[in-house]
Amino acid sequence: MFNFFKKKADVLEHWISFAEEFQFSPAEFYSAVEKELESRKVPGLEKSRVEFAEGGLLSDKRVYLRMVRERLVFDVCAAPFGTRFFFSCRMAEIPAVIQLWQLVAVLVGLGIFAALFFKLFGFLWGIVAMVVTVIGGVYVLRNAVALGLQDLDAALIKSPVLGPIYERWFRKETYYRIDTRLMYLDTVSNVVKKLAEEVTGAKGVKLVRQYEQAPILGELYRPVLPRVETERKP
């Protein structure tokens, strides 16, 4: 239930493609991906450029395009490797980990509210006001999106103190949320693949898919072929 140690993101899928005797501007490719996703109006998507070291602390850094929606992260890389060029895409999920300091901060906040209610309403009515406030707060947290409070939902997810607690204990998991996560994963991955094929194809170079790993998605969301009903013999 509790995990007070920071956990690394879980890689959902990772694929890489490469082209022989091909060079291209990584920044131009990232801009094309951003432009394409903007035209598709993917909701809740945040984009940024991040640098990762190629090796140790003193090694050169490589710029990646990062796209985040809720706790789902895409890190896309386009880079030369000698006379070759590769495109890679990693999909990962950042776990909602509740840490001890977050629980302490919430308890301190509740204590401050309790002291305020006791001061304003006295001990008995202060307890009543506190209980009503907590019940009302839990109801709002459990139904933030249904109440039309999408901005509150997004703000709570990003909150460094309340975010993990809200997601683990209050935010309802629904079919729609699961479906939209899968739509997000599929949309971004397909856009990156399509543009990689387009930029290489425009120069008459064939893009080769070499490696693809899906340690989690491969088992959890593996596509299933439609069942074919066979005619029963009498």
Domains of the chain, with CATH numbers?
A: 10-96+187-220 (3.30.310), 100-175 (no CATH)
d(CA 148, CA 142): 12
Centre a 10 Å sphere on the Cβ of residue 148 and count the other Cβ atoms it contains. 10
Q: What is the pLDDT of residues 105-155, one digit of tens each?
A: 888 888 888 888 888 888 888 888 888 888 887 777 777 655 566 667 777
d(CA 213, CA 202): 27
Tokens of 110: 């509740």
Centre a 10 Å sphere on the Cβ of residue 26 and count the other Cβ atoms it contains. 19
Q: What is the pLDDT of residues 71-112, one digit of tens each?
A: 889 999 999 999 999 999 998 888 777 777 778 888 888 888
Tokens of 210: 């070499």
Tokens of 58: 């003193």
Amino acid at 173: E
**44 in Cβ contact with 19 (< 8 Å):** no
- Strand 84-93 and strand 208-213: the pairing is unpaired
**76 in Cβ contact with 89 (< 8 Å):** yes
Q: What is the pLDDT of residues 190-216, one digit of tens each?
A: 999 999 999 999 988 888 876 655 554
